[in-house]
Chain A
Amino acid sequence: MDVADVPQEGNATHVGQHRRVYARGSDGRLGLVASRGWEVEEIVTLQATKAFDDLAEAARARGRAGSAAPLEFHMYRARMDEALLAQAVGLWRWRVHRHLRPEVFARLSPALRARYAAALGIDVACLETVD
């Protein structure tokens, strides 16, 4: 890649940070050049963040309707899935899966709630609602 080919497309995900890319300068040597971003990077990053945003929104709607535990919304908002959340709280995955059911979540002990809240980096009161 030549210096003139380094993309400078401006990437919303980088919030003003520059990326460094190796490119061939006019002296024929490779060196680091600052890039303002490449659309390709933006597309794939936003694809990943959007997947979680969509899941979280759907879980929030289900939480409001009472068909899912608020835990599901907070899990996706912390960009976790069941497997990751299970590892983060140190429970078996099937237990986490079960705790996503609203009636099971409602019976959850304060100790377990505190563990979930700590693993998700929020406080317990926040864990109990989807707003």
Chain B
Amino acid sequence: MSAIVRHYGLPLSEAAAFGLASALTFAYIPFIKFYGLPLVSYRMPPRAIMRGLQKPLGFKMHAETFRTPEAGAARLNELLAAGRLVGLQVSVFWLPFMPPDFRFHFNAHNLLVYGRDEASGDYLLSDPVLEAPVRCAPADLAKARFARGALAPKGLLYYPAGVPREPDWKQALPAAVKKTARIMLRTPIPLVGVRGIERLARAIERLPVATDPDRTRQFIGHIVRMQEEIGTGGGGFRYMYAAFLEEAAPLAGRPALADLGAELVEIGDRWREFALATARMIRARDPLDPARLAALLREQAGREKAFFMALDKAGR
């Protein structure tokens, strides 16, 4: 996301774009399933992040979906021919350049297309998981863009209309921070924010340890995958948000934000400890004990509650 903005001449770090879009959250959605396991997310969905950036940066992001792969490919070619940088939502599984162990049917992956090789028709793309740009054949990309299943991308592509401009930091940063605190503390459904963490703790306690230890291990492993393998930075995006707070403090003229950033790093460390405790149980280095993991999660919920209340105050 930040790469699109940077392309149009506004130097914005990934962390700053993440924070400005109020992308940090926690969500546990038991009725959206991947392989029979619930959706657990530490950030907002890509479309929400896109929308969140529009207002502070004063531009519109155009998003289009398509009925057929042909229409999707034609529109993508047209935009690339016009020299645009285009973001795509894709399924990870059909991307041949992905490391094989990452190739699951996970539909909410995003990458950037910046050009097309005229001779072979290959697309030139930049993928956040990989360090170097890659190429992808049109047939593979079409499959990835039109994969079906939960959160199906339907060929979603997006590009900015208008030029993003530097925001009024003193106004935009406190607003973004307050919005994140509001999402974490006061979302009316109990599956999002701090209450979502508590719900997840309860779901873990109810896992069938005695009757189906395999399912228990899959469930807790899934949480850690969502926390550590998705996105940049680890610690369920808590580190990235901490980096944003550190950047934001001088820009907004609120030094309290930097102190909160340091606090959030601590919370991120605790998330990593949770991941470690889980992995040890999966490998049977520690006895499988979901109650202990649930207790760790509850502690995290308590810490995040206190943290976001302080953040809310700092944003006022």
Contacts and interface: CB of A to CB of B under 8 A. Distances in A.
A40 B105 contact: no
Interface residues of A, number: 40
B229 A41 contact: yes
A111 interface: no
Interface in A28-87: 29-32, 35, 38-41, 43-49, 51, 78-81, 83-84, 87
Nearest to B232: A20
A57 to B, nearest CB: 16
B103 A79 contact: yes
B147 interface: yes
A40 B261 CA distance: 25
Interface string B229-253: 1001111000110110010000000
Interface of B: 15, 33, 35-36, 93-94, 99-105, 129-131, 143, 147-150, 152, 217-218, 221-222, 224-225, 228-229, 232-235, 239-240, 242-243, 246, 261, 265, 268-269, 272, 275-276, 278-279, 282-283
Sorted from nearest, which 7 A-B pairs have the closest CB atoms?
Answer: A22-B239, A13-B101, A40-B279, A30-B243, A43-B279, A22-B233, A44-B221
Given A1-B234, A17-B129, A44-B222, 4 more contacts: A1-B235, A18-B131, A23-B239, A79-B105
15 contacts: A1-B272, A17-B99, A19-B234, A21-B239, A22-B15, A30-B239, A30-B265, A44-B279, A46-B101, A48-B104, A48-B222, A49-B100, A81-B36, A83-B36, A121-B143
